[in-house]
């Protein structure tokens, strides 16, 4: 059940709810509800109506299995990565190479993506690869390269952690921990990052349903870490023409179900460099809170995933077009302002008049 405690509630109310859950052996988890109060998720049912507690503003006895991640639990979350807000209304750009190759290269790429509009620097120090013979990343040296690039540019950094034993080490260097697609259901890893206070980027497994995706986020939140950002990165489908199929249905769908921000990774989502820009625009149009893009100064020489990696110049174009798209969509979302204009257009007799009216509305 979900119990919402108002901001003005006495501390004794919270203590009584947690004590009642403990007495019955029910796991209980709490988080801020975005309105100054608190929501407590109980894996069981308490007789709240008979407990006579002050400051209980809402009780949901029946809830979704992902109770802490659900939109019923709280207002929409804004996750801070350094000084960058994800979910705050302005889409973020996470950009950088698939794999970190050297300190100098990472600093060069970091400066290039920052100039192109990126807010957060990505780069893989530990890389899960389909082949055991492929480049697996630089490990600790890669983490040091990320830290050096952050020092040089001021960009916060996100990198993947692959094992529970790596979490403490990676947390020393990263501003955000990435859980990769292959580890979405690695429950020991999810529990471990749930015990940190470092924001987590959770990528959807490429054979995962929407509910499985949200339940993995629930594992992290149940551990106490509520700073979770979801990432749609493509799912396996029947068409061999594409590495994966970017499932943009899940973006607006998750926004109907969850308060967590969600971004889109079009690089993995299509696996073809020529398609990345268009799918990035599609992700933003679907309502994504940002994009994650693989960027390298010389993609053809990248040590991993060069075929889906774009240049900093292309990133700059995506940034400019993306901002223009968001501005246009925000303008056209103002239905009340547009309705009179469209009504007036129905009275226009020539194509030129219609064009002029559309320009006035825009």
pLDDT of 232 = 98
Given a contact cutoff of 8 angstroms between Cβ atoms, the answer to whether 307 and 273 are in contact is yes
CATH number for the domain running over 79-329 = 3.20.20.70
Q: Is the dihedral of CA 182, 197, 156, 325 positive or negative?
A: positive
- What's the CATH code, domain 2-60? 3.30.70
Cβ atoms of 264 and 246 closer than 8 Å: yes
Q: What pLDDT sits at residue 243?
A: 85
User: Which pTM value belongs to this model?
Assistant: 0.88
CB under 8 A, 24+ apart: contacts of 13-22: 13/53, 13/54, 13/55, 13/56, 14/38, 14/40, 16/51, 16/53, 17/42, 17/46, 17/48, 17/51, 17/53, 20/46, 20/51, 21/46
Using CA atoms, how far apart are residues 156 and 174, in angstroms rounded to an integer?
8
Structure tokens at 327: 């501005």
Residue by residue, DSSP assigns 184-245 as TT-HHHHHHHHTSSS-EEEEPPTT--HHHHHHHHHHHHHTT---EEEEE--B--S-TTSSSB
- Contact in structure between 99 and 145 (CB atoms under 8 Å): no
pLDDT one digit per residue (tens) for the chain, 362 residues: 899 999 999 999 999 999 999 999 999 999 998 888 999 999 999 998 888 899 999 998 877 889 999 999 999 999 999 999 999 889 999 999 999 999 999 999 999 999 999 999 999 998 776 677 566 678 999 999 999 999 999 999 999 999 999 999 999 999 999 999 999 999 999 999 999 999 999 999 999 999 999 999 999 999 999 999 999 999 998 888 888 999 999 999 999 999 999 999 999 999 999 999 999 999 999 999 999 999 999 999 998 889 999 999 999 999 999 999 998 888 766 555 555 554 454 455 555 665 565 566 55
In 3-state terms the chain splits into helix, strand, coil percentages (rounded to 5) of 40, 20, 40
C-alpha 314, offset from chain centre: 22
Question: What is the spatial distance between Cα 135 and Cα 109, in angstroms, rounded to a whole number?
Answer: 19
Q: What is the DSSP string of 313-355?
A: HHHHHHHHHHHHHHHHHHHHT-HHHHHHHHHHHTT--SHHHHH
Q: How far apart are CA 341 and CA 332, in angstroms?
A: 11
Where do the CATH 3.30.70 domains begin and end in the chain?
A: 2-60
Task: Give Cβ neighbours of residue 220 (< 8 Å, ≥ 6 apart).
Answer: 190, 191, 193, 194, 200, 202, 228
């Amino acid at each position: 059940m979900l119990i919402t405690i108002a901001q003005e509630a006495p501390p004794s109310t919270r203590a009584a709810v947690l004590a009642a859950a403990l007495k019955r052996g029910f796991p209980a988890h709490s988080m801020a509800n975005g309105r100054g109060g608190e929501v407590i998720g109980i894996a069981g049912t308490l007789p709240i109506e008979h407990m006579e507690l002050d400051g209980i503003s809402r009780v949901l006895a029946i809830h979704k299995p992902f109770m802490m991640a659900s939109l019923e639990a709280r207002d929409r979350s804004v996750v801070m990565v350094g000084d960058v807000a994800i979910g705050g209304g302005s889409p973020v750009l996470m950009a950088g190479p698939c794999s970190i190759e050297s300190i100098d290269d990472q600093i060069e790429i970091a400066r290039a993506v920052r100039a192109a509009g990126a807010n957060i620097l990505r780069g893989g120090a530990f890389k899960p690869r389909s082949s055991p013979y492929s480049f697996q990343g630089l490990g600790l040296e890669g983490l040091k390269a990320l830290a050096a690039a952050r020092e040089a540019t001021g960009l916060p950094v996100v990198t993947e952690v692959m094992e529970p034993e790596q979490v403490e080490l990676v947390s020393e260097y990263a501003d955000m921990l990435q859980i990769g697609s292959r580890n979405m259901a690695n429950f020991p890893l999810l529990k471990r990052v749930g015990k940190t206070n470092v924001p987590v980027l959770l990528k959807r497994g490429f054979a995962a349903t929407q509910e499985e995706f949200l339940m993995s986020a629930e594992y992290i939140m149940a551990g106490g870490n509520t700073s979770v950002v979801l990432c749609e990165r493509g799912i396996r489908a029947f068409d061999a023409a594409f590495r994966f199929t970017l499932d943009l249905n899940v973006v607006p769908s998750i926004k109907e179900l969850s308060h967590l921000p969600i971004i889109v990774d079009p690089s993995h989502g299509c696996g073809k460099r020529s398609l990345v820009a268009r799918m990035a625009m599609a992700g933003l149009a679907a309502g994504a809170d940002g994009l994650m893009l693989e960027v390298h100064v010389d993609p053809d020489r990248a040590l991993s995933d060069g075929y889906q990696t774009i240049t900093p110049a292309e990133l700059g174009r995506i940034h400019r077009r993306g901002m223009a798209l968001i501005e246009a969509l925000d303008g056209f979302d103002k239905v009340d302002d547009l309705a009179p204009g469209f009504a007036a257009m129905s009275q226009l007799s020539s194509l030129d008049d219609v064009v002029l009216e559309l320009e006035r509305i825009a």
